[in-house]
Amino acid sequence: MGSGISTRKQYWITNSWSIWTLGSMRSGSCSAVGIRERRTVLDLDYICRTRNSFVRAAHEASSHSNVQSGKIAAEIALSRARLKASDIGIVVGGGSSPQNIVPAETCSVAAELGIEGPCLDVNSACATAPVQLSLLSRLITTEVPTSFWS
């Protein structure tokens, strides 16, 4: 299991930036959920100018798609774990704002990487990563049964 970050540092948003620039955070929200910074594929000037109020325009303004982000993050995770795509048996991904529901974005990421196997998206806003880990902890076995594909 590994993780990766797909955005460059200039696309990282700290809570203090959000408060100072957008006035968007209530005091205590960081302590409530523990989020200190966020990643975005949107240029920070675009966010300041539009306050990201045009969902369709945001898709066009993105530096790259969710699938491209997932591929970059997966390549970093594979490198960190010293694995090849062929070593992967299941792909679980997701986030808080999917661009596609069908097919699941994780299927598209796996296809970009040449990974064959089951794929699923788990989208749960701020809790996506812990929910994914909880799900995986219940699925992990020493190997996938051969009858799985039957």
| pTM, rounded to two decimals | 0.72
Count of beta carbons in the 10 Å neighbourhood of residue 14? 13
Per-domain residue ranges of the chain: 9-142
pLDDT at 150: 45
CATH number of 9-142: 3.40.47.10
Rg (CA), the chain: 17
Q: What is the DSSP string of 27-49?
A: TTHHHHH---EEE-SS-HHHHHH
Residues of the chain whose pLDDT is less than 70? Answer: 1-11, 15-35, 140-150
Give tens-digit pLDDT for 23-58: 655 555 555 666 677 778 888 888 888 877 887 788
Measured CA to CA, the distance from residue 72 to residue 7 in angstroms comes to 9
pLDDT at 33: 60
Place of tokens 């539009």: 50
Q: Any residues with CB less than 8 A from the CB of 35 and at least 6 apart, and which?
A: 15, 29, 126
pLDDT at 108: 94
pLDDT at 146: 53
Q: How many residues does the chain have?
A: 150
Q: Can you read off the two tokens belonging to residue 103?
A: 């097919």
Measured CA to CA, the distance from residue 68 to residue 112 in angstroms comes to 9
Q: Can you read off the two tokens belonging to residue 85?
A: 């795509």
